[in-house]
Homo-oligomer: A and B are copies of this chain.
Amino acid sequence: MNESAKAGSGYPIRAVERVCDILDLLQIEPEGVSLVAVTAATELPKSSAYRYLLALEARQYAERDADTGLFRLGPAYRPQRARQLGRLLECAHPALEQLRNKVNETVNIGVLDGGEVVHVAVIESQQMMRLAARVGERGPVHATALGKVIAAGMPEENVRTILSGHGMRTFTPATIVTAEAFVRELARVAKLGYAIDDLEAQDDGRCVAVPLPGLPFLAGLSVSAPSSRLSNDGVPLVVTRLKKAATAIVKAYERSPL
């Protein structure tokens, strides 16, 4: 903490201060704290403290003990997650590049976080015209192939909670916008073993994804391309390659040192 006692940003943002105050407190109270205790310690108005805690909970930086209802640090704050992710990315890299070279399109790994899909690896197509998210970019579960394969591995109840919490925004005329239709799509996905974003997130983009099973978190592997280059006819071949790469990635992860 005093590794650098330097201070003063010149850019105080009250909300950031408040988040940090709360996270600081949760760090020094590993057994958890009540809302009243948070209020007292941070001197925030109670309703503000409550809203912040819920917002942090939604992003898994805080969680609630089921029995006591006390707030404590959440999974997002646990370093093992970062380590596990780092490990996955390391293991996956060779297979990702190989896959990218085989299909000549952008390949991605996405993981579930706070009810959204985060792109944690993006190996871009070398073509000029390409569909490519950036590392760290987030997308909704309901309109992305990655989101679909991830959601297909979750209990339906949890899927519905995510959908109602995040909404089902319409990106294109093809976007699935009702929970019922989405749940039906997930049944299809689970059966087929892969998902397609068929012009649902972008009018001219198509994406195919398969799950990465057996990891300590929900993740998927996908190929994304302009729709002109990835037709529905071409999907089966891409799926075959995705599944082969997914198998290689998971095997490499399982073999990697802890």
Given contacts A161-B8, A165-B9, whether A136 and B15 have CB atoms under 8 Å apart is no
A3 CB contacts on chain B under 8 angstroms: 75
In the complex, A41 Cα to B43 Cα: how many Å? 33
Bound-complex Cα distance A15 to B55 (A): 10
Complex Cα–Cα for A23 and B78 (A):
12
Asked if A41 contacts B135 (CB within 8 A), the reply is yes
Q: Say yes or no: is A234 at the interface (Cβ < 8 Å to chain B).
A: no
B58 touches A7 (CB 8 A): yes
Nearest B residue to A154, CB-CB: B5
Which residues of B have CB within 8 Å of A42? 136
Stoichiometry (number of copies): 2
Give the contacts of A110-124 with B (CB-CB under 8 A): 111-115, 118, 120
Q: How near does chain B come to A216, taking the closest CB pair, in angstroms?
A: 8
A192 at interface by CB-CB < 8 Å: no
| Residues of B contacting A237 in the complex (Cβ-Cβ under 8 angstroms) | none
> B28, B86, B111, B166: which contacts A86 (Cβ < 8 A)?
B28
Q: Residues of A within 8 Å of B, CB-based: how many?
A: 74
Q: How far is it, in angstroms, between the C-alpha of A218 and the C-alpha of B51 when the chains are bound?
A: 32
CB-CB contacts below 8 Å: A21-74 with B: 21, 23-25, 27-30, 40-43, 50-52, 54-61, 63
Whether, in the assembled complex, A217 has its beta carbon less than 8 Å from a beta carbon of chain B, the answer is yes
Knowing that A4-B60, A8-B58 are A-B contacts, what are 5 other residue pairs whose CB atoms are under 8 Å apart, sorted by A's residue number? A1-B216, A15-B19, A16-B19, A28-B120, A78-B79
21 contacts between A and B (CB under 8 A): A1-B75, A1-B113, A1-B217, A2-B218, A4-B60, A6-B158, A7-B58, A7-B165, A8-B115, A8-B164, A9-B54, A10-B54, A11-B58, A13-B51, A16-B19, A28-B85, A28-B86, A29-B135, A40-B134, A41-B136, A79-B79
